[in-house]
């Protein structure tokens, strides 16, 4: 398809950040929101972007968004999710924290806890928590992914299997409408599966943009977790899965609205 200069730039922004918003683009290009909506509609008709409420996303079925760019996607929502998850975890507990930008937000929210044992395959979490004497950090061994600091591979899986912890905090790159939890790297999926199998209470943390994405490797199913924390759940099918499987669904946007 033929792209105008502005449309080409919008596409590059979407590739880099994973998502674009109408209002932000209108301000960036000094045009009306209606003009941006037409650009997004043209790009979506050309199947280079996928339209979502308030903007569009870069379809990433086989291509993951760069880790640093993911940190900026829904950052306030991730912080709220992190606080909600940390509120469920008491001091004097043991827990796994998996790789991911939302799980990192949980780690950040745990800094005022005491006598925690945190086992992680996330170098970023380990580096942040290690300076706090009231938190013992245990880091998995294995292959370190340069892209995000995740430790993956069979050595990491074997390491995780040595423990049985009180809580696990996991994320997912995508959540399908049928409740499938998905990721991009089969090596990371093996670690996540070991984490789920060796925790007494599994907390899934994921912002609502993950409902709009897809990924090729299956971690497991929503029914395998005990608590699911998100900013907003727009899918009735996900609510039904939670209700049928006794999964506690926490939506931080609704919690904030009640205050």
List, for residues 231-251, the tens digit of each pLDDT value: 999 999 999 999 999 999 999
- Short-list 59, 103, 65, 90, CA closest to 212: 59
Q: Which range, 43-57, 72-86, 95-109, has the best average confidence (pLDDT)?
A: 95-109
Asked if 206 and 94 sit in the same domain, the reply is: yes
Closest CA to 207 of 228, 185, 177: 228
Which of 1-10, 169-178, 216-225 is predicted with the least confidence, judged by mean pLDDT? 1-10
Confidence of residue 112 (pLDDT cuts 50, 70, 90): very high
Query: In which band, very low, low, confident or very high, does the pLDDT at 52 lie, cut at 50, 70 and 90?
Result: confident
Number of H helices, E strands in the chain: 11, 15
Average pLDDT over residues 105-109: 96
Does the structure show a pLDDT above 70 at 69?
Answer: no
What is the pLDDT at residue 62? 40
Enter the pTM of the model.
Answer: 0.77
Averaged pLDDT of the chain: 90
Is pLDDT of 136 > 50?
yes
Q: Which structural domain, as residue segments, surrounds residue 50?
A: 5-59
195 & 158 share domain:
yes
| Cα 6 off chain centre by | 30
Domain count along the chain: 2
- At 18, the pLDDT band (50, 70, 90 cuts) reads confident
Shared domain for 26 and 94, answered yes or no, is: no
pLDDT in tens, 166-197: 999 999 999 999 999 999 888 899 999 999 99
> Greatest CA separation found in the chain?
59
Whether 125 and 21 share a structural domain = no
Residue 74: pLDDT band (50, 70, 90) is confident
Same domain, 74 and 193: yes
Domain shared by 79 and 52, yes or no = no
What is the pLDDT at residue 64? Answer: 53
Confidence class for position 13, pLDDT limits 50, 70, 90: confident
Clarify whether residues 124 and 19 are in a common domain. Answer: no
Q: In terms of domains, do 10 and 127 share one?
A: no
Q: Are residues 48 and 81 in the same domain?
A: no
Which H/E stretch holds residue 127? helix 123-129
Residues 81 and 163 in one domain: yes
258 confidence band (pLDDT: 50, 70, 90): low
Same domain, 114 and 202: yes
What pLDDT score does 63 carry?
A: 46
What does the pLDDT average to over 48-72?
68
Name the residue with higher pLDDT: 61 or 15. Answer: 15
Asked if 33 and 82 sit in the same domain, the reply is no
Q: Which residue has the tokens 């013992």?
A: 136
């Amino acid at each position: 398809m033929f792209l105008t200069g502005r449309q080409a730039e919008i596409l590059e922004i979407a590739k880099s950040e994973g998502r674009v918003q109408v209002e932000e683009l209108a301000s960036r290009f000094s045009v009306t929101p209606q003009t941006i909506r037409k650009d997004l509609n043209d790009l979506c008709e050309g199947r280079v972007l996928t339209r979502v409420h308030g903007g569009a996303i870069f379809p990433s079925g086989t291509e993951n968004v760069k880790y640093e760019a993911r940190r900026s996607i829904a950052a306030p929502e991730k912080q709220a999710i992190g606080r909600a998850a940390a509120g469920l975890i008491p001091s004097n507990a043991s827990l796994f924290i998996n790789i991911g930008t939302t799980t990192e937000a949980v780690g950040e929210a745990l800094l005022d806890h005491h006598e925690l044992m945190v086992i992680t395959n996330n170098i970023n979490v380990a580096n942040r928590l290690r300076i706090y004497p009231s938190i013992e950090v245990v880091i998995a061994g294995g292959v370190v992914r340069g892209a995000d600091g995740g430790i993956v591979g069979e050595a990491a899986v074997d390491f995780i299997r040595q423990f049985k912890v009180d809580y696990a905090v996991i994320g997912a790159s995508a959540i399908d409408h049928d409740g499938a939890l998905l990721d991009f790297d089969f090596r990371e999926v093996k670690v996540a599966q070991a984490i789920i199998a060796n925790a007494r209470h599994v907390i899934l943390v994921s912002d609502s943009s993950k409902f709009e994405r897809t990924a090729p490797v299956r971690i497991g199913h929503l029914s395998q977790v005990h608590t699911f924390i998100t900013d907003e759940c727009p899918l009735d099918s996900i609510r039904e899965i939670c209700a049928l499987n006794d999964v506690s669904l926490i939506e931080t946007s609704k919690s904030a609205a009640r205050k």
